[in-house]
Amino acid sequence: MVFLYKSVYDGFMDKEYVELCNIFNSLPSIKTLNSCSGHGKNIFSVFFSCTDWRSLSFIGRCIDRRYFKYGDNWEVILSNSDVNDSYAVFQLKSINTIVETEYRQIENLCETMTDHLNHKVYMNYFMKDTAGFFIKDE
């Protein structure tokens, strides 16, 4: 299976983030709101809204160091959501700065998420109901 969601983002979005944001937007009730890394001078982060625990569970497992090569450098936190009261805002972020030469971490995270999507035991046990996932069989 592959993630189906494909979007055209504004011309200001770094190309390295497009695949990751498409994967996030393929998950139930996830909407990416913003992404930034300060052009390799700051931490990498993606802010997203989420109202479905399955999506948070999926992301949490995919950034776990047992499954993701760079898992020690990533976390998901509940972000300050002063600007709205209708949903929670989360932030996926690197703990350390990811310089432009280390975008491999983001590529590896996309690969890890796709691997989990195609892991039959994991999906059958933890994600029995994939309604709301934008996926298709290859």
What is the spatial distance between Cα 55 and Cα 30, in angstroms, rounded to a whole number? 7
Structural domains in the chain (count): 1
Tokens for 63, please give them: 């950034």
Which is more confident, 26 or 136?
A: 26
**What's the one-letter identity of residue 27?**
L
Query: Mean pLDDT of all residues in the chain?
Result: 83
Using an 8 Å Cβ cutoff, are 45 and 76 in contact?
no
Position 138 scores a pLDDT of: 52
Residue 54, pLDDT score = 86
Q: Is 11 helix (H, G, I), strand (E, B) or coil?
A: coil
Contact, 5 vs 28, CB < 8 A?
Answer: no
- pLDDT greater than 70 at residue 101: no
pTM attached to this predicted model: 0.85
Check: CB of residue 102 under 8 Å from CB of residue 70.
no
* pLDDT for the residue numbered 99: 66
Name the CA radius of gyration of the chain, rounded. 14
Q: Which two tokens stand for residue 61?
A: 């497992």
Contact assessment for residue 19 and residue 50, using Cβ atoms and an 8 Å cutoff: no
How would DSSP label each residue in 49-70? EE--HHHHHHHHHHTSTTTSTT
Read off the pLDDT band of 5 (50, 70, 90): confident
Domain with 76 in it: 2-136
